[in-house]
Amino acid sequence: MALTEAGPAEAVVTGALEPGWLCGRCAIDSGGRERCPGCGSVLIARHFPRMPRRLRPGAAVAAVLAVVAAAGALATAGRETSRPEAEAAPIVSPALAVASPVAPPAPEPTLDRAREQAEAVDQLLAGSRAARSGLVDAIADVRACRTAGLSVIGSITDARREQLTSAQTLEVDALDGGSAVRSALTKALNASYQADAAFLAWGRRYVNRGCGGPVEQDPDYRRGLRFSGDAETAKARFVIRWNPVAASFGLKERTGRTI
């Protein structure tokens, strides 16, 4: 048998071998060959130790198992070396893992809150009625060239503007159909404000001209009449929505002519 150096601490069989060298892959006796007669593997003395031909059966079996185990370890080490590193599992911070807080559901509107909102609407309607009652007389005074009526129309116009602003900001979320009630009231008061503003523009020009000329042909006066008609229609639609709400809280029901 002749051995050559194939690397550090590694000898490769290069010549005829005497029987007793076992293949590490299949544990077959080399029979004195340089390669395994079973699998063709090159026999390396460091990896495949010699086994005496005459061994007790138990010792022979133990030796074969040892060689097979050594070969398996080498193969496994090779596979582990070539296997790519597994990606590390992301680390989740305990603070991030906690579920985001869920906002509690909105509380149910109480009966007291609904009553407060209904009473606020009722108070606004009462103020609107007071403004309406003085408008007709004020227009009559201006037509008769009594300037005090012009001041009354100016005050009514300012009051209507404030009522319109208040209606737009009414809280009605606790009322049944509250959004529709507020929308209808806002349209009615806006038409009334436009009418008042038109009559005020007419009255100022009429007085400044010495109270002369046909009133009915004045464009602002005619505009005031048109917006007054729109306001009456909008008020009628409003009370249809409002009166059932008012009745449920014992409040006064209204008509379009009392707003």
Q: Give tens-digit pLDDT for 209-228.
A: 999 888 999 999 999 999 99
User: Quick one: which of 251, 110, 244 has its CA closest to 180?
Assistant: 244
Segment among 22-36, 79-93, 104-118 with least mean pLDDT: 79-93
pLDDT of residue 35: 72
Task: Please provide the DSSP assignment of 129-189 as one string.
Answer: HHHHHHHHHHHHHHHTT-THHHHHHHHHHHHHHHHHHHHHT---TTSTTHHHHHHHHHHHH
Decide if pLDDT at 73 tops 90: no
pLDDT of residue 110: 82
Q: Is 138 exposed, middle or buried (0-12, 13-18, 19+ CB in 10 A)?
A: buried
Decide if pLDDT at 59 tops 50: no
Decide if pLDDT at 31 tops 70: no
Can you tell me the mean pLDDT for 185-206?
Answer: 97
Decide if pLDDT at 126 tops 80: yes
Segment among 28-37, 90-99, 165-174 with least mean pLDDT: 90-99
Cα dihedral 136, 142, 148, 149, rounded to 10, equals: 20
Instruction: List CB contacts of 233: < 8 A, sequence separation 6 or more.
Output: none
User: Considering the entire predicted model, what is its pTM?
Assistant: 0.58
Q: According to the per-residue pLDDT averaged within each range, which of 85-94, 98-107, 249-258 is highest? A: 249-258
pLDDT of residue 27: 64
Segment among 78-92, 100-114, 126-140 with least mean pLDDT: 78-92
pLDDT of residue 32: 67
Can you tell me the mean pLDDT for 102-125?
Answer: 83
b/e map 172-191, b = 16+ CB within 10 Å: bebbeebeebbebbbbbbbb
Query: Model confidence at 12, in pLDDT bands (50, 70, 90)?
Result: very low
Decide if pLDDT at 17 tops 60: no
User: Quick one: which of 93, 136, 158, 132 has its CA closest to 258?
Assistant: 132
Instruction: List CB contacts of 184: < 8 A, sequence separation 6 or more.
Output: 234, 237, 238, 241, 242
